[in-house]
Amino acid sequence: MFLLVSIQQNFQICGDSFDLCFGSNLRRAIRSMFRLKRSSTDRVEVKENTSSSDGGVAVDWEVRPGGLLVQKREEVSSPFGSLIKVRVSFGSSQHEVTVPAHSTVGDLKSALIPKTGLQPQEQRVLFRGKEKEDQEYLHMVGVKHTSKVILFEDPACKERKLEELMKNKNKGISDSKAYEAVSAVREQVNRLCGKISALESHICCGTEVVADREFAVLSELLMMQLLKLDTIEAEGQDKLQRKTEVCRIQSLFDTIDSLKMKNSKP
């Protein structure tokens, strides 16, 4: 009995001594190992102290609602920053485009090419009533997620497009008129060519002498067609056809001169 009491007292003394020697130090060590701080989301974050000499890697912890202690998740940030969705009003059309928050107005214009069909230099962007330049950053001018901007086509570019369209349209009309004019001259030359062929056959037969007036009339009619060709403005294939008719008429002039010489011989 005396032995049991002595052992119990010794254990109690050892326990008290352990608590006195190590209890306070252990509590201080635990407090120094973990540092508590309140996050913006009202979670409790716990950061483990890594000043120990074991070479351990720092680990951040957070206390979730309910008291569960878990390792803090690392936030992965995009090299371009977070993405924002910008609403774009273009005439009667409404578009939405997603771009990095730190993009420039020029980047926004490039993202709108597939939706609008306009090149960046043809676009003008208005935000809060003011036009924004290509080098300006969206977040610096106040463009945020779901912000709305107004897009319109540059008036100078639009005017140039209209002028080019009218020019092409007029060119098409001009080409059509040139083709019709050359065709009309070709038809007249074909008729004169037939008359010249008939006159050549008559002279070759030698039945009678052809009056000089016949040659003069044919030459005058050919000259009229040549002058018509000279007034026709043509491009491309029509210009080539006009040149062909000019050469053809010149050849017919030579034929008439040759026939006139044959006709003058007895």
In whole angstroms, what is the distance from residue 114 CA to residue 93 CA? Answer: 14
The confidence band for 8, taking pLDDT boundaries of 50, 70 and 90, is very low
pLDDT at 145: 92
Does residue 181 carry a pLDDT above 90?
no
- CA atoms within a 13 Å half-sphere pointing along the CA-CB vector of 242: 21
* Buried/exposed 26-47: b ≥16 CB within 10 Å, e otherwise: eeeeeeeeeeeeeeeeeeeebb
The confidence band for 35, taking pLDDT boundaries of 50, 70 and 90, is very low
pTM metric for this prediction: 0.41
The confidence band for 3, taking pLDDT boundaries of 50, 70 and 90, is very low
Does residue 84 carry a pLDDT above 70?
yes
The confidence band for 58, taking pLDDT boundaries of 50, 70 and 90, is low
Does residue 86 carry a pLDDT above 90?
yes
How confident is the model over 23-38, as a mean pLDDT?
Answer: 49
**Domains with residue ranges and CATH for the chain:** 2-71 (no CATH), 83-153 (3.10.20.90), 159-264 (1.20.58.120)
